[in-house]
Structures are given as C-alpha cells and as structure tokens.
Amino acid sequence: MSLLIKGGRVIDPSQGLDEVLDVLVERGVIKELGKGLSAPAGVEVVDASGKCVVPGLIDMHVHLRDPGLEYKEDIITGTRAAAAGGFTSVCCMPNTKPVIDNKAIASYIINKAKSEGFCNVFPVGSITYGMNGERMSEMGELKEAGCVAVSDDGKPVVSSELMRRSLEYARGMGIMVISHAEDLSLVGEGAMNEGFTSTEIGLKGIPRVAEDIATARDVMLAEYTGSPIHIAHVSTKDSVRIIREAKARGVKVTCETAPHYFTLTDDAVRGYNTNAKMNPPLREADDVAAIKAGLKDGTIDCIATDHAPHHLDEKDIEFNEAMNGIIGLETSLPLSLALVEEGVLSLKQLVEKMSCNPSKILSIARGSLKAGSVADITLFDPAVEWTVDAEKLSSKSKNSPFIGWKVKGKAVATIVAGKLVKA
Amino acid sequence: MEFRHKDIIALRDLTKEEIELLISTAENMREINSRDIKKVPTLRGKTIINLFYEASTRTRTSFEIAGKRLSADTVNITTSSSSSTKGETLADTALNLLAMKPDIIVMRHAVSGSHYFLSKKMPNCSIINAGDGTHEHPSQGLLDMLTMKDRFGRLDGLKVAIVGDITHSRVARSNIQGLTKMGSQIFVAGPPTMVPPGVEKLGNVTSCATMKEAIQDADVVMMLRIQQERQGKTLMPNTREYSRYFGLNPVNLKFAKPDAMVMHPGPINRGVEMSSAVVDGDQSHILKQVENGVAVRMAMLYHVCGGELE
Amino acid sequence: MGEESTVILDGTGIRRALTRIAHEILERNKGAQNLVLVGIRTGGVYLAHELAKRLEEIEGGRMPVGEVDITLYRDDYKGNAVHLPVGKTDIPFHIEGGKVILVDDVLFTGRTIRAAMDAIMDHGRPASIQLAVLVDRGHRELPIRADFVGRNVPTSIKENIQVIFDESKVPLEVVLEK
C-alpha cells in the first residue's frame, strides 16, 4: 500500500498543480508531492515519465446491474471495467432488482464492492420507493447507508408535486437529487432522435423538447425550492441553454453529459444499429456542438458514462425492441481526451469534469492529490493509440458503438487507496 | 443491366437503373398474367416463405400469386402477434426458417429495419420487404411507378402529389425514394402533425401548406390511407375534419391537370381520404395498381432469386 | 468479334436461303392456311418478319407474326446469382390449332428451341410446330432437328456463329468467329 510514482506530469486542479512531480503514497494515503523524492526501503516505484498523474477518475453515472441483473454485469466485472478505464470510483444507479430503495441493498453493494470489487462504489438510492414514482424512499437511511445521491434514473419522476417534495426533503437530509429529465408523453413509442434521420429510416422519433421540458421543470423546481439538483445525461442544445441560464441566475444546478453525446450523432443509428440506441437518444450536429460549448464554458460540470451493459440477446434484435444504452467505462477517457486534442477542453478541465467536480457535487472525499488525501490516483498515457476490441473489454457486456474504433489515450495504472488495481 | 442484390428491402438502396430494370421486367411479366396458362417454370423448385407479422390480405395474396405464377412453392406464415409477445424472437424464427432452406423470404414486419436484421441472419436467403413499420414498402412503390409509366409513358418530369399521413407511411417513403431517382417532382401535403421533419431532404420533395397547393397541376394525385391504429389519438381531431381538409373529392380534384390520375395504395376508407365519386371515377387507377402488383412482385422474385448462367 | 472471323453467308446468300425456306414451308404445308410465325427473340423475330414478307409476296394475304422471349423458360439457371432481363413475349393471335413455324437464327444445342416450344405450348395447343433456322451449326444436346435450314455449318464447339442485322433489322451476313 506504499508507492512512489516518479516523474509523471501531475495535474491536480484542487491545488492548481500542473507540473512534473513525484508522488509518495504511504498506507493508502498521499504522503508527499515533490521533485526528486526517494523511495523509502521496500516501497514499490512506478515510473510515470511521459504519463499524466491525476486524482482518481470518478464516473458518477454507471449501471452495475447488481443485484438482480447479473447476466448483464455485476459488481466485480463492472468495477474491473471501471479500473481498466482509469476510474477509481463509480456511482451506481438504483434500477437494480430489487431497487436500491433501502439500506439493506445499499449495504450489500458497498460491502460486495469492498470485498470483491476493483474500485470504490458509491451507490445512488432511488428517489421513490421501488422507482414507482409514487412515494419517497427513505432518503435519510439511504444516506446513512452510504448512498451519495438519489435518482430514479431510467425514468423521470412524472409528478411535479412529488419531484418538488423530493427536492425539499433531500435537501433536508443533505443528499443530492439526480434528475432523469424526460417527458414520457412526448417520448411515446419513440426509438431514436426525431430529425431527418428518423424521417428517412422510418423510426419513430423522440423530440429534443421531451428532454428540454423536463430539464426546465426540474431546474424551476430547484430554483423554487432552493434545493440543489443535478441533471443527468444532458444531450440537447436547449437543455444546455436552460442550465446555463439557470446557473447565471444562481440556481443550484449542476449537470453531466456522456462521451457519446459529444462524439456521435443520430447518424450512427443508420443501418438500425442497436448499439447506437440509448436514452436520451443520440442527437444532431448542433446538439453535439452545444454540448462541447457547454463543457468548455463550464455549464456542463461532469463527464459521466451512463455505462449501461446489456446482454447480446437484448441488442441483437429488431431496433424497436432493443434495450437502451451502451457500455462506456473503458472508452470514456480516450473519447474525452479527444476533446483536449480538439481544443475544447484543457487537461485541467478534463480532470475537473472527470474527478474534482463529481466529488464536489456528491460530497465524496476524493478528487484531490493533496497530502493526506486517500490515494486514489489515475495514471494515463495521453498519446498511446489503440483499437477498441470487444474481446479485450472487461465488462460482461459488449454493447458499444465504439468497438473497432481507433482511439488515443489510455489509463496505464489505476490506484485505489494506494493499491494498484490496474497496471 | 444486371440486378445483383440478394435482397430488396428499400428503394433507397437501389439505383435508377435497377429500378428501371425491375419495372421493365414487370412490364414483360404482364403477358403471363393475361393468358390462359398463367404460369412459367422459372422458379421451379424454389421455396418462398411469406412471413407476415402484420395482417395483409392484399399484399400477401399478391406475393403468393406472383410466386405461384413463377412456379415457386409458396408457404404463408401469418402471425398476428409480434415476435416478442409470442415469445420467439425474430432471430430464432429466422434460424428455424433457415433449417427449412427457403430461397426467398417475403416479410412484413411492424418494426422498421427488421429486414436488414433478418438478412444478416440469413446470408443465403433473399429477403423481400413487403412493408416494414414506417420505413419502406418497395413493391408498392414499384407498382405505383409502373402504373404511372403505363399512363404517361414516362416518370421523368411528372408532378406527383402525395397527400395524407406522410410520417407514418412506408408507401410515401418508397414512392419518394423511387420517384426522385426517376426524375419526378413530388409535392406532399397533410396536417403538420403528419409531415415528418426534413421531408424535403428525402428527395425531390416540396412540402405544401395545403392540399390544394400540392395537387395544383399535378399529373398524379396519390392519397394515403388514414390508419387510426397508427395515427393514435393525437394527430387529428377526427376523420370527419380530416376528410374536409385532406380528402380528395371531385371538386378539389379539378385543381390537378384535367387528365391527372388518382391513386391509392388501399385499402380505401371511402369518404375519408377519398370520396366514392373519385374512387370509382374515370381518373381512378386504383384497380390498375392492384393488377400491376402481381407483375411487379414477379419481377422482384425473379431478380432476387437470381440464377447463374452456365 | 473474335480473333479470326469469316463470312459464311453474305446478304445475297441469306436472301436466297430465306426465299427457298419460304417456298419449302408453303410446299410442306400446302399453302399458308393456318400458318403462324413465331420468332425467338431477338434474331429469330427479325427473321420471322423477313420470312413473313416472302410468304405474303408468294401467297398474298397477311402472315401473323408473334415473338417469344425464352428467358423465363431457360434450363440453365441455378444457384443464386444474376438473372437476365426478361424480354417481351407477344403472340397476338390464337395459337390453338394453328401450324406454328418457329423461327430462330442459329440452331445449336437445341435448348433454346425446347424452351421456346414450352413457352408456345403455354399459350395453347398448336396443331404442329415446325422449326425454321438460318444456320444449323450442330452440337445438339436434345433430340431436336430443324424442318427448314438455310445453311448447315459444321463448327467446333469453341467457335461462335453470329447473324448480323442492320439498323432496320434486315440480316446482313452470317459470321463464324474462331
């Protein structure tokens, strides 16, 4: 549990650092940062020259499918995929079977992750009991059990009254509400983004306004109640605008987007590719541009994957019948580094959005390399080029539209509490 | 000119020359349908499965007759329920059918794009699309174009009005794709709830605000079927108001060219999208469409089934 | 054209052969009563019209001429590859009880003639079918022989016989390509 990481480029926005330094880790804690540190006897030395050394990456939006849907993923395979992708912490969504709506399920996840997992798992409890949209779950106990937020992710809280009360109640319990913003009546039977592509290939469209209306409602409820809110998987240009304007007014709103929303458009659906089917759906070029602008100007705080593993049988079927979602843990870093290459983000901003901001938003004591912090550290090589190969992915499911892509940038070491979990 | 596709799933996938070949073959197939012995031995020994996941008497019968007139063995499988409710996936159905070694599967399915999925699962079997969701209905598009060509001797430069629910119409999509390649001009009209975004970019399409604007000086007026089950409850108040603004009757038909032809893919809701006076009138070519359907489907079966010249 | 080609029948030769065949047809059938001509697309159709002209000159009246496309009756399709375009079949008269003179340009394996006879039979039951060809090049694979032959040309299987027509579909010459 003691390591000396030598000669890496340390990028830690929490202390305004971006320079070549050595990092000494002792007993799972960061002991010291400095130049030319020497390794005490028996301490393993990791050569980080040419690599970036950053606070451990945090994916605040993943589906680990455990308990109940282990045929898609489980805590072991999911955290192994996370570690492979450079993540030291993940927040798992509550749409498991049973739903994470009570202390027992939350504890099961935390304990299993601690004993068998490869990285930290912070569960997200459900807003409503059973995610049925009718009655609040026991948010106080969920928080006590270790949940870092509540969300009914996968579906919206349809009742505005219940959403309002949930925001108020959660504020009292000191737990963040993550909104899955979607107006179901506008979505209807829609299977992809509504636009020219849906017109041409004859699939029923989901209009962007289905997301925007729900985003606007939840932002307004947060403003009215004075409660913080986090909007999950923002995909449209108008949702970015709504959040930008709300932030300017002082609303306590934060949000995230996923790599596929700044990498792909609904063109990827052509050929009825079910690995390009997700919710919210892939949008259009102007949305992609707006997402990038939102990341650049800080409107979008975080990059989270919405890692959604599905079995081949749930994807290798007719488009309308296929499940929504793609895996993302092992492709998130290179796809996000492409934004750095493109000049959309600086490396510092990237680290903020993939580590510092999620830790702040969810009050997780991570996201920093300050002496005394838990030694969650990610080492990545921004220059290495590789091809995404389904066979080599750690996730139990292979539902990714990026299989076969040539990408650049890869985690080379993932260190959780001073322990090398991936090298 | 050779037809080298294994499948016919969408007119979007075909070139102008391939569409011309199919239409030309269909023209020459008609001779078979007009004689006493309406049969040729061409597809003897071939097995065609008509796999219909949506009820359709007209299209299924037309494909069945087409197959039989080419001497193929045709088998019909009609499943009213979707695969998922029945419990067997389309992939499993495909594997089961594959074991029976069919040469052609003619499928109608409620999910757009299902035929591409089926085709990948059945690399040695030809797939013909008899309608997929709201995507395409290529045999209907081809028979419509053949019927227009019969009337005008050409498709190039024709002004074709398509009126109705464009968004949910696979007939409209196939006609737009095919007619654009053949050089026709297409004018669409319908309540804005039934006109999809970017319809102009689908081809040589002009979207019109009113029905009158679309059918003004048209050579062809094609009316689409209003399907309550597809339109749901939110796209229009009722069929009464729909027919008042988007129904074809002898009065508004006068806006089209005097010799304009009237078409409808059927089955017709008389008094909704068309008045009976127009359906049964001199300008109606609806029954000719049905007649051409068999010849067009024979041409499709003939060309996908292929055959190697020794 | 092949590497080496020789004219084996020129325009005059073709005209003479067709005129002779016309006379033979009338002689064999004791006049033009009930005769109909059916040409096999496409060369056979042109020759059928040439024969009809001569028959009309000799006997007067109008000779019915039909055309048959044998594509749908071929026996050489197999597997899944490419089908030829289908040509037009047009037999605008009743074939039932008629004496059909089936006309083709070159008689080779006999398979085309088999296909054409099947096609004709599907239009009705003729009293008889007789075969007239401009060239018989041999190499039969079916028990078929011509009733009227313009010229017998012994060929090797690798050689090719072509009847060349001008723009108004009049035969110009018969060429042997090696």
Is A153 annotated in the active site?
no
Cα–Cα separations (whole angstroms), residue B18 to B173, B178, B292, C164? 18, 10, 18, 29
Structure tokens at A25: 């880790």
CA-to-CA distance for A79 and A81, rounded, in angstroms? 5
pLDDT at B90 over 50: yes
Predicted pLDDT at B174 = 98
**C73 in contact with B at a CB cutoff of 8 Å?**
yes
Average pLDDT over chain A reads: 97
CA-to-CA distance for A63 and A40, rounded, in angstroms? 40
**B266 in contact with A at a CB cutoff of 8 Å?**
no
Give Dmax (Cα) for chain A. 67
Residue B111 half-sphere exposure toward CB, CA atoms < 13 A: 22
Q: Where does the pLDDT of residue A40 fall: very low under 50, low under 70, confident under 90, or very high at 90 and above? A: confident
**C62 in contact with B at a CB cutoff of 8 Å?**
no
Predicted ipTM of the assembly: 0.91
CA angle (A139, A144, A148) in 5-degree steps: 70
Q: What is the CATH number of domain A3-52+374-422?
A: 2.30.40.10
| Closest Cβ opposite residue A320 in set B111, B167, B202 | B111
In eight-state DSSP terms, residue A356 is I
Among B8, B23, B35, B296, the residue to mutate for chain C (most C Cβ within 10 A)? B35
Nearest CA in chain C to B301: C83
Distance to chain C for B228, nearest Cα, Å:
41
Q: Where does the pLDDT of residue B87 fall: very low under 50, low under 70, confident under 90, or very high at 90 and above? A: low
**Which residue has 């006609």 as its token pair?**
B175
Contacts with A200 from chain B: Cβ below 8 Å: 12, 173, 198, 201-202
Helix (H) or strand (E) run with residue C141 in it: none
Predicted pLDDT at A362 = 98
Contacts with A183 from chain B: Cβ below 8 Å: none
pLDDT at B83 over 80: no
Contacts of residue A300, defined as CB under 8 A and 6 or more positions apart, other chains included, come to: A234, A240, A243, A255, A256, A257, A291, A294, A353
CA-to-CA distance for A121 and B114, rounded, in angstroms? 39
pLDDT average, residue stretch B19-36: 94
Q: Which of C37, C10, C56 is nearest to C170 (CA)?
A: C10
pLDDT at B81 over 80: no
Query: How many domains does one find in chain C?
Result: 1
Structure tokens at C117: 């006879």
Domain region containing C19: 5-73+94-177
CB–CB of A49/A7 below 8 Å?
A: yes
CA-to-CA distance for C145 and B50, rounded, in angstroms? 43
Cross-chain residue pair B114–A205, CB shorter than 8 Å: no
**C93 in contact with B at a CB cutoff of 8 Å?**
no
**C148 in contact with B at a CB cutoff of 8 Å?**
no
Tell me how crowded residue A364 is: count the other CB atoms within 10 A of its CB: 20
**Which residue has 């395409």 as its token pair?**
B136
Cα–Cα separations (whole angstroms), residue A209 to A205, A224, B65? 11, 22, 47
Cross-chain residue pair A200–B111, CB shorter than 8 Å: no
CB–CB of A182/A217 below 8 Å?
A: no
CATH 3.20.20.140 fits A56-361, yes or no: yes
**C13 in contact with B at a CB cutoff of 8 Å?**
no
Cross-chain residue pair A202–B135, CB shorter than 8 Å: yes
Q: Where does the pLDDT of residue A356 fall: very low under 50, low under 70, confident under 90, or very high at 90 and above? A: very high
Would you kindly state where each structural domain of chain A is located, as residue ranges?
3-52+374-422, 56-361
Domains and CATH numbers, chain B: 11-137+291-305 (3.40.50.1370), 138-288 (3.40.50.1370)
CB–CB of A295/A243 below 8 Å?
A: no
C12: CATH: 3.40.50.2020
Q: Which of A59, A101, A152, A306 is catalytic?
A: A306
Nearest CA in chain C to B300: C83
**B101 in contact with C at a CB cutoff of 8 Å?**
no
Distance of CA A352 to the CA centre of its chain: 13
SS3 A150: strand
Cross-chain residue pair C69–B28, CB shorter than 8 Å: yes
Query: What percent of chain A stands above pLDDT 90?
Result: 98
Tell me how crowded residue B102 is: count the other CB atoms within 10 A of its CB: 22
Predicted pLDDT at A55 = 98
**B42 in contact with C at a CB cutoff of 8 Å?**
yes
Write out the residues of chain A at the interface with chain B, using a CB-CB cutoff of 8 A.
Answer: 194-196, 198-205, 271-272, 313, 316-321
Q: Where does the pLDDT of residue C3 fall: very low under 50, low under 70, confident under 90, or very high at 90 and above? A: low
Cross-chain residue pair B28–C123, CB shorter than 8 Å: no
Q: Where does the pLDDT of residue B98 fall: very low under 50, low under 70, confident under 90, or very high at 90 and above? A: confident
Listed ranges A38-52, A214-228, B83-97; the one with the highest mean pLDDT: A214-228
Residue ranges of alpha helices (H) inside A193-284 are: 196-201, 209-225, 237-249, 259-263
Predicted pLDDT at B308 = 42
Q: Which of A64, A41, A48 is nearest to A10 (CA)?
A: A48
SS3 letters across A130-185: HHCCCCECCHHHHHHHCCCEEECCCCCCCCHHHHHHHHHHHHHHCCEEEECCCCHH
pLDDT at B157 over 50: yes
| Closest Cβ opposite residue B305 in set C76, C80, C89 | C80
Give Dmax (Cα) for chain B. 61
Predicted pLDDT at B168 = 93
**B31 in contact with C at a CB cutoff of 8 Å?**
yes
Q: Which of C55, C39, C21, C30 is nearest to C147 (CA)?
A: C21
Predicted pLDDT at B230 = 62
Average pLDDT over chain C reads: 92
Cross-chain residue pair A204–B134, CB shorter than 8 Å: yes
SS3 B75: strand
Q: Where does the pLDDT of residue C169 fall: very low under 50, low under 70, confident under 90, or very high at 90 and above? A: very high
Nearest CA in chain C to B42: C72
Q: What is the pLDDT of residues A150-202, one digit of tens each?
A: 999 999 999 999 999 999 999 999 999 999 999 999 999 999 999 999 999 99
CB–CB of B5/B130 below 8 Å?
A: no
Nearest CA in chain C to B43: C72
Rg of chain C in Å (alpha carbons): 16
Query: What percent of chain B stands above pLDDT 90?
Result: 78
Predicted pLDDT at C82 = 62
Contacts with B31 from chain C: Cβ below 8 Å: 88-90
